[in-house]
Amino acid sequence: MKRSACIVSRRCFVLASVAVLAGCATPVRVVEPDLAAFQRVGRFAITAESFGQAPEAVQGGFVWSQSGREQRLDLADPLGNTLARVLIHPGHAVLTQANGATQSASGPDALLENVLGSPMPVSGLAQWLRGRVDAARAHAIERDAQGRPVVFLQDGWRVQLSRYDALGPVLLRLNRNEANRSISVRLVIDPQ
């Protein structure tokens, strides 16, 4: 029974890590201003609930950065110990765990599908961290008085962005409901 709980917890962490990683690391078509260096540091909390099972949760810290076309996400446990790193280049994504084990795929969405065994695209997160939406894929967009997106639906996610600073939202809440599970992600950006 303990081994089963450990496997479930590990799978939940991988789910959380890859979900955050995939979302943060998806290469998007960019124009020259987007190639500038960009970094967000903060904390994450992810909860996955499957029908008939106890909720699984994971939390920790993250550093997401982009320099040119390379994107990187470092994940740490609540004590600051490195858990994983994801490097994304156009057409290639690599997840490296603290123990040195690696997995790679053609992109973060494919990496997520390889790790979890089912697709779960969250590729919009790279834009959401900057307070942007993909006009071609997002709908039901609500904006604040300054024209910034605050609530919208994209790729199966309900996204709430709030507490903007100069770089983007400081609080991101993402919710996804599927036939037999729901996933909740909360990202809080540390003050600069």
Mean pLDDT value across residues 169-175: 95
Counting Cα atoms < 13 Å in the Cβ hemisphere of 55 gives 10
Q: pLDDT per residue over 68-115, tens digit each?
A: 888 888 889 999 898 888 888 888 999 898 899 999 988 887 886 776
CATH number of the domain to which 126 belongs: 2.50.20.10
Between 192 and 166, the more confident residue is: 166
47: containing domain? 2-189
Mean pLDDT value across residues 148-152: 97
**Which of the four pLDDT bands, split at 50, 70 and 90, describes residue 181?**
confident
**Which of the four pLDDT bands, split at 50, 70 and 90, describes residue 150?**
very high
What pLDDT, on the 0 to 100 scale, is given for residue 34?
53
Please give the tally of structural domains in the chain.
Answer: 1
What pLDDT, on the 0 to 100 scale, is given for residue 82?
87
pLDDT at 23 > cutoff 80: no
Sequence-distant (≥ 6) Cβ neighbours of residue 68 within 8 angstroms: 35
Mean pLDDT value across residues 39-67: 89
The CA-atom distances, in angstroms, between 25 and each of 18, 53, 113, 121, 125 are: 10, 30, 14, 11, 8
